[in-house]
Amino acid sequence: MVGRHVISSQTDNIAAKFIPDSQNLTDAADQIGSATPSAIASKLNENSDTIKSQSQGLINSAKATSTDSKLTYTLESSKLNKATVGALLLASGDQVKDVADKVLDSMKKAGVAQPKLRIDLTDDKGNIIKTLDYSA
């Protein structure tokens, strides 16, 4: 019982670092309006240092790339593994999906046919731990 409480509090701590201020993240997604994948990628890359610093050392790097209809966002961490990512998604998966839906909606408003969002969570060697795929 005590072990479960410790694991739960550790998961909450990781989630708080990974998505430091989920309300700000949701507010930012609400304000995107209409934007192409390349415009969103540029904005994410401009804010890479902020994202890393807010993660309190959990995220080593954050990089966004785009094609005409797809945005790929890669978050690299030396502190994540399959278990912590699974726990993180249990704790914050709904928030991530809400933001993803808003990003996809933004791309649709910009005239992107069949927009896609891919989030790759990788270790510090570039090995993919988990991929989250969203499409509109």
Question: For position 3, what pLDDT does the model report?
Answer: 35
Cα dist from 98 to 93, 102, 105, 134, whole Å: 9, 6, 11, 11
Q: Which stretch of 25-29, 43-47, 91-95 has the lowest confidence by average pLDDT?
A: 25-29
Q: What is the DSSP letter of 128?
A: E
Determine if the pTM surpasses 0.85: no
**Using one digit for the tens of pLDDT, what is the confidence trace for 66-114?**
999 999 999 999 988 888 888 888 878 888 888 888 889 989 999 999 9
Could you tell me which residues come within 8 angstroms of residue 29 by beta carbon, excluding any fewer than 6 positions away? 98, 99, 102, 103, 106
> Domain 2-135: which topology?
GMP Synthetase; Chain A, domain 3 (3.30.300)
Query: Which is higher by pLDDT, 78 or 9?
Result: 78
Looking at residue 64, what is its pLDDT? 93
The one-character DSSP state at 63 is E
Query: Domain locations in the chain?
Result: 2-135
d(CA 50, CA 47): 5
Q: Residue 116 to residues 17, 25, 44, 107: CA-CA distances in angstroms?
A: 26, 19, 16, 9
Side chain identity at 118, as an amino acid letter? R
90-123: burial string, b at 16+ Cβ within 10 Å, e else: ebbeebbeebbebbbbbbeebebeebbbbbbbbb
Taking only the tens place, the pLDDT of each residue in 120-133 is 999 989 999 999 99
